[in-house]
Chains A and B, each alone.
Chain A
Amino acid sequence: MDPPKHDDVTRTVIARPGAPEASADDDRAHYLVVVEGDGAGRRFEVGGENLVVGRTKPADIVVSDVLASRNHCRVGLVMGELFVTDLGSSNGTYVAGKRINKAIVSAGERITIGSTVLEHEWRSKREVMAAQATDMDLDRAKQYVRSLLPAPLESGPIRTDWVLQPSAKLGGDLFGYHFIDEKTFAIYLLDVTGHGTGAAMHAVSVMNVLRQRSVPGVDMKDPARAAAHLNEMFPMERHGGMLLSLWYGVFDLATRNLAFTSAGHHASYLVDAQRSSSSALDVSNVLIGMIPGYTYRSESAQVPPGSTLYVFSDGVFEIEPAGAGAWGLDDFIALLTAPAEPARRESRRILETVVARTGREAFEDDFTLVATALL
């Protein structure tokens, strides 16, 4: 192993990831999570106090590992960076595979002590608390998901209107939209496999990546690149087997070009101003998290003024009607070109029509639809 070099330290300072715009709701904290070894899944917050990692008490973080020393290393924050210092351990402390005496650990990097691996996570406290409370009442999780949803846009060249009606079991749907810059609008909808708070909180983690307007090394205006980035970050093997489908579109207001990708998600639909026809915006790619290194493809469409983009989850068309009859994707698509009703918001018109047509008040899956007028 190489001896520690001082320049390793300066290198990692620059590589601090995320670097988001400061925002009032940024409540992220530093955590060390045991990802391999005894007690995997345990999570420790690293705050103002230094913490000693070692084999036995009085170490603050006890790792039951015969290769760990009694006082193995110390972790703490220096100028907002997570620092680790080896305390003369017998078997050494490794960061990102290199033996160190002292090093900065960037978010996402791992500290290895014997056969125990600790990952540095820099995450929202709210998110972590939500994820930890496994017995958390589903209603509270629903409220939390709801609090993350964007306000409808009611003025300007882009108007949005949406509905997200969570199922009793909470289906793992989430969506969002924002302006990447003055002339570029991004919109996305994702659906995590499975149900419950675990699926919902996984959706939250993914959305927190998509919400960043800039991600170092990733052009978020390139849908295929954004999907590939998520695929790298959230492989199923490291996230409890969870996969997710995603539809992600980027609209250029100047050229009216809509670039989009679909990762294991069905098509979104574009309906013209006269509501005479709808066109499917589809690309065939695999679910996020399924195949490491998969090359996602994107497509683009020219959007005539006054068109409406409908992005939705499978919960709007995979519904078993209460009585006789059937309800499927074709029935749902036909609904999109039906006349708008000035008395009802578009999302209400569609939700209420689906309820009437299927005879179902409560759905088995989340019912999520975002209607975006591109004026």
Chain B
Amino acid sequence: MSISHEDTGNLRRIVISGRLDVEGTDSVAAQLVELTQAPKKGIVVDLSSLKFLASIGIRALIESAKAVKARGGKMVLVAKSGSTVMMSIKATGVDQFVPVFGSSADAEKAAAA
């Protein structure tokens, strides 16, 4: 499981890959929350190469999205439709709070808007 990021202008793109489950998730979740604190307008969290999203990951996504919203930014997610990760996002209602896109191009466009 790994987390990386790159900044382009006013946009930060964070990629989490592997299996966001119990072992090691706490540290990745904490890193995610920290990375989303950057004073960027748009934050894209790309989960399309993530195999599994445990509940602690859901919590980190919500905490991050709330913090980004609170400072007037916009956070969006990228997830593959039909994947287990997308299933978790829908079942928990995360998609009702954070916009989710199938492609990173669409996500970046929305985050920059």
Enumerate chain A interface residues (CB-CB to B < 8 A): 167, 169, 172, 191-195, 236, 241-243, 245, 263-266, 284-287, 290-291, 314, 318, 320, 328-329, 364-365
Contact = CB atoms under 8 A, between A and B. Distances in A.
Contacts of A284: 90, 93, 96
A264 B87 CA distance: 11
Contacts of A241: 59, 63
Contacts of B22: 167, 169, 195, 364-365
A287 B93 CA distance: 6
B96 A286 contact: yes
B56 A194 contact: yes
B91 interface: yes
Contacts, number: 64
A328 B92 CA distance: 17
A290 B97 contact: yes
Contact of A194 (B19, B59, B62, B87): B59
Contacts of A172: 55
Contacts of B58: 193, 243, 287
Contacts of A290: 62, 93, 97
A328 B91 CA distance: 14
A318 to B, nearest CB: 7
Given A169-B22, A195-B22, A328-B84, A264 B59 contact: no
A229 B59 CA distance: 20
Interface string B47-64: 000001011101100110
Interface residues of B, number: 20
24 contacts: A167-B22, A172-B55, A192-B55, A193-B59, A195-B56, A236-B59, A241-B59, A241-B63, A242-B59, A243-B58, A265-B91, A284-B93, A286-B92, A286-B93, A286-B97, A287-B92, A314-B55, A318-B52, A320-B52, A328-B84, A329-B87, A364-B21, A364-B22, A365-B54
Interface of B: 19, 21-22, 52, 54-56, 58-59, 62-63, 84, 87, 90-94, 96-97
Nearest to B26: A194
A245 B21 CA distance: 17
A291 B96 CA distance: 10
A243 B59 contact: yes
B4 to A, nearest CB: 24
A242 B62 CA distance: 10
B20 to A, nearest CB: 12
Nearest to B62: A290
Contacts of B54: 318, 365
Contacts of A264: 91-93
Contacts of A266: 91
